[in-house]
Amino acid sequence: MTDGSISPLSTPVRRAADIPPYDAARAEAAVRELLLAVGEDPEREGLRETPARVARAYQEIFAGLRQEPEDVLTTTFDLGHEEMVLVKDIEVYSTCEHHLVPFHGVAHVGYIPNVDGRITGLSKLARLVEVYARRPQVQERMTTQIADSLVELLEPRGVLVVVQCEHLCMSMRGVRKPGSRTITSAVRGVMRDGATRAEAMSLILGK
Ligand SMILES: Nc1nc2c(ncn2[C@@H]2O[C@H](COP(=O)(O)OP(=O)(O)OP(=O)(O)O)[C@@H](O)[C@H]2O)c(=O)[nH]1
Ligand SMILES: [Zn+2]
């Protein structure tokens, strides 16, 4: 155990433009070192290709570091719809930044368009979740980032983001509590109002 402190949510997030290109050779060398460190033989049959494979997998798993929300949430169009839009049960696979093991579950993303009825394509909400999930993360920060990006890019009247995940760092190691789920939420604007929030929550919880 360390002192148990977790990454501050205020950690400055680097802009994609400031992040150097993915260094596959470096990732590969690091994985080889890791295999040696745990006592494995990186030259044995089953492991020979593993460093290169893991390097490719990490490029995909952390691709969100090189994306910005505006890259995916571009299509906004005016339908004149001013009521709540909610996409629920968006599957999330992210990586805990403390242990570099997955946390996974679902995200529910809802918003109420502004008076112009400016909306986005439904798939773009799921793409936005991906941008933030594909980074070393903590669940709280990811939840906040999704909500704040929607506020910035859609200027909606309200936003509600709820994320429910199981953290494998709590299941397969450490405290070993498989099945526990962590629920985080971020609420903005009129979604804070009791009745509106209750409507969104009942839509999320309903089958
Ligand atoms: N708040 C928050 N904590 C997380 C998240 N992912 C992992 N953690 C926690 O981060 C903490 C890191 O604690 P440390 O004591 O530094 O690390 P550790 O010794 O590996 O802790 P244990 O997991 O308790 O064995 C643990 O309590 C994890 O459960 C997350 O998304 N949000
Ligand atoms: Zn962890």
Distance 204 CA to ligand 1 centre (A): 27
Tens digits of residue pLDDT in 38-68: 999 999 999 999 999 999 999 999 999 999 9
Percent of the chain predicted with pLDDT > 90: 77
Q: Report which protein residue has its CA nearest ligand 1's atom 20.
A: 1
| pLDDT mean across residues, the chain | 92
Is residue 139 annotated as a catalytic residue, yes or no?
A: yes
pLDDT number for residue 6: 55
Is the pLDDT at 12 greater than 90, yes or no?
no
Residue 169 CA: nearest ligand 1 atom is 23
pTM, rounded to two decimals: 0.92
Report angle CA 55, 58, 63 to the nearest 5 degrees. 130
Could you give the domains of the chain? 18-61 (1.10.286.10), 74-205 (3.30.1130.10)
Map the chain to HEC letters: CCCCCCCCCCCCCCCHHHCCCCCHHHHHHHHHHHHHHCCCCCCCHHHCCHHHHHHHHHHHHCHHHHCCHHHHCCCEEECCCCCCEEEEEEEEEEEECCCCCEEEEEEEEEEECCCCCEEECHHHHHHHHHHHHCCEECHHHHHHHHHHHHHHHHCCCEEEEEEEEEEHHHHCCCCCCCCCCEEEEEEEEHHHCHHHHHHHHHHHHCC
Cα gap 125→113, rounded to integer Å: 13
Q: Report which protein residue has its CA nearest ligand 1's atom 31.
A: 138
Pocket of ligand 1 (CB under 6 A): 1-2, 4, 6, 96, 98, 138-140, 167, 169-170, 174-175
Cα gap 117→174, rounded to integer Å: 47
Four-residue CA torsion sign, 37, 38, 43, 46: negative
Distance 82 CA to ligand 1 centre (A): 40
* Residue 96 annotated in ligand binding: yes
Is residue 40 annotated as a catalytic residue, yes or no?
A: no
Tens digits of residue pLDDT in 159-200: 999 999 999 999 999 999 999 999 999 999 999 998 888 888
Is residue 169 annotated as a catalytic residue, yes or no?
A: yes
How much is the average pLDDT of 116-124?
89
Is residue 108 annotated as a catalytic residue, yes or no?
A: no
Distance 163 CA to ligand 1 centre (A): 17
Tens digits of residue pLDDT in 67-98: 999 999 976 777 778 899 999 999 999 999 99
85-96 and 136-137 as β-strands: parallel, antiparallel, unpaired?
parallel
